[in-house]
Amino acid sequence: MIRSGEEQTGAVYERRVCKNASDYQYMKVGLEFEAPGFRLNDASFKQMIVSALRGLHGEIGAALPVDVLKFEEQSLTAILRVRGSDLVKLWSALTLSAFYKDKKCAFRVIQVAA
Protein backbone atom coordinates (compact mmCIF):
# COMPACT_ATOMS: atom_id res chain seq x y z
CA MET A 1 0.00 0.00 0.00
CA ILE A 2 1.39 3.43 -0.99
CA ARG A 3 0.53 6.38 1.18
CA SER A 4 0.19 9.96 -0.07
CA GLY A 5 3.62 11.45 -0.75
CA GLU A 6 5.37 8.08 -0.81
CA GLU A 7 6.80 6.40 -3.86
CA GLN A 8 7.85 2.84 -4.48
CA THR A 9 11.37 3.69 -3.27
CA GLY A 10 10.14 4.50 0.20
CA ALA A 11 11.00 8.21 0.00
CA VAL A 12 8.64 10.47 1.93
CA TYR A 13 7.90 14.01 0.74
CA GLU A 14 6.60 16.68 3.02
CA ARG A 15 4.78 19.82 1.94
CA ARG A 16 5.36 22.98 4.00
CA VAL A 17 3.48 26.21 3.51
CA CYS A 18 4.72 29.42 5.09
CA LYS A 19 2.48 32.44 5.26
CA ASN A 20 5.39 34.85 5.23
CA ALA A 21 9.00 33.84 5.50
CA SER A 22 10.25 37.43 5.73
CA ASP A 23 10.93 39.01 9.12
CA TYR A 24 10.16 42.53 7.90
CA GLN A 25 7.49 44.19 5.80
CA TYR A 26 8.10 47.38 3.85
CA MET A 27 5.41 50.01 3.33
CA LYS A 28 5.44 52.93 0.97
CA VAL A 29 3.15 55.57 2.45
CA GLY A 30 2.16 59.07 1.48
CA LEU A 31 0.85 61.85 3.67
CA GLU A 32 -1.80 64.20 2.30
CA PHE A 33 -2.94 67.42 3.93
CA GLU A 34 -6.26 69.11 3.26
CA ALA A 35 -4.50 72.47 2.91
CA PRO A 36 -1.87 72.44 0.15
CA GLY A 37 1.72 73.47 0.74
CA PHE A 38 2.21 71.90 4.18
CA ARG A 39 5.78 70.68 4.70
CA LEU A 40 7.39 68.30 7.19
CA ASN A 41 10.91 67.09 7.80
CA ASP A 42 11.82 63.46 8.44
CA ALA A 43 11.86 63.85 12.24
CA SER A 44 8.34 65.31 12.28
CA PHE A 45 7.14 62.55 9.96
CA LYS A 46 8.53 59.89 12.31
CA GLN A 47 6.93 61.67 15.29
CA MET A 48 3.57 61.57 13.50
CA ILE A 49 3.90 57.81 13.08
CA VAL A 50 4.78 57.32 16.76
CA SER A 51 1.86 59.57 17.80
CA ALA A 52 -0.53 57.59 15.60
CA LEU A 53 0.64 54.32 17.17
CA ARG A 54 0.35 55.78 20.67
CA GLY A 55 -3.13 57.13 19.97
CA LEU A 56 -4.49 53.76 18.88
CA HIS A 57 -2.38 51.21 20.78
CA GLY A 58 -1.08 53.18 23.79
CA GLU A 59 2.50 53.19 25.04
CA ILE A 60 3.04 49.62 23.86
CA GLY A 61 2.13 50.69 20.33
CA ALA A 62 4.43 53.71 20.50
CA ALA A 63 7.31 51.37 21.33
CA LEU A 64 6.91 49.32 18.13
CA PRO A 65 10.10 49.44 16.08
CA VAL A 66 9.29 51.32 12.87
CA ASP A 67 12.14 52.54 10.68
CA VAL A 68 11.82 55.35 8.16
CA LEU A 69 14.22 54.13 5.49
CA LYS A 70 13.62 56.88 2.96
CA PHE A 71 11.67 60.14 3.18
CA GLU A 72 10.91 62.60 0.39
CA GLU A 73 10.00 66.06 1.70
CA GLN A 74 8.57 67.32 -1.58
CA SER A 75 6.00 64.55 -2.02
CA LEU A 76 5.66 63.62 1.69
CA THR A 77 6.20 59.95 0.89
CA ALA A 78 8.29 57.48 2.84
CA ILE A 79 9.37 53.87 2.87
CA LEU A 80 8.85 52.29 6.28
CA ARG A 81 10.20 49.01 7.64
CA VAL A 82 8.27 47.15 10.33
CA ARG A 83 8.31 43.60 11.68
CA GLY A 84 5.82 41.39 9.90
CA SER A 85 3.96 40.74 13.15
CA ASP A 86 3.44 44.50 13.66
CA LEU A 87 2.28 45.38 10.15
CA VAL A 88 -1.44 45.36 10.97
CA LYS A 89 -0.93 47.55 14.04
CA LEU A 90 1.04 50.12 12.06
CA TRP A 91 -1.37 50.08 9.13
CA SER A 92 -4.43 50.55 11.36
CA ALA A 93 -2.80 53.39 13.31
CA LEU A 94 -1.84 55.22 10.12
CA THR A 95 -5.29 54.72 8.64
CA LEU A 96 -7.00 56.24 11.67
CA SER A 97 -4.62 59.18 12.01
CA ALA A 98 -6.46 62.34 10.89
CA PHE A 99 -4.76 65.44 12.32
CA TYR A 100 -1.32 66.98 12.69
CA LYS A 101 -1.11 70.27 14.61
CA ASP A 102 -4.83 70.88 14.05
CA LYS A 103 -4.47 70.36 10.28
CA LYS A 104 -6.53 67.64 8.62
CA CYS A 105 -4.39 64.97 6.98
CA ALA A 106 -4.45 61.33 5.90
CA PHE A 107 -1.85 58.63 5.39
CA ARG A 108 -2.24 56.69 2.16
CA VAL A 109 -0.65 53.25 1.90
CA ILE A 110 0.74 53.08 -1.61
CA GLN A 111 2.52 49.72 -1.57
CA VAL A 112 3.40 46.88 0.80
CA ALA A 113 6.07 44.26 0.18
CA ALA A 114 7.91 41.58 2.11
- Name the residue type at position 14: E
Per-residue pLDDT of the chain (114 residues; tens, 9 = 90+): 445 555 556 678 776 655 656 799 999 999 999 988 888 999 999 999 999 999 999 999 999 999 999 999 999 999 999 999 999 999 999 999 999 888 999 999 999 998
On whether residue 66 sits in a domain, the answer given is yes
Q: How far is CA 27 from CA 2, 3, 11, 99, 101, in A?
A: 47, 44, 42, 21, 24
pLDDT of residue 57: 95
On whether residue 53 sits in a domain, the answer given is yes
On whether residue 38 sits in a domain, the answer given is yes
Give the chain's length. 114
Beta strand segments in 16-76, E: 24-33, 66-72
Q: Which domain holds residue 92?
A: 24-113
pLDDT of residue 9: 64
In the chain, the number of structural domains is 1
| Residue closest to 61 by CA, chosen among 88, 31, 30, 41 | 88
pLDDT of residue 3: 52
On whether residue 13 sits in a domain, the answer given is no
What pTM was computed for the model? 0.78
Check which CATH number belongs to the domain holding 52 and give it.
3.30.70.3250
pLDDT of residue 37: 83
On whether residue 94 sits in a domain, the answer given is yes
Q: Tens digits of per-residue pLDDT, 55-85? A: 999 999 999 999 999 999 999 999 999 999 9
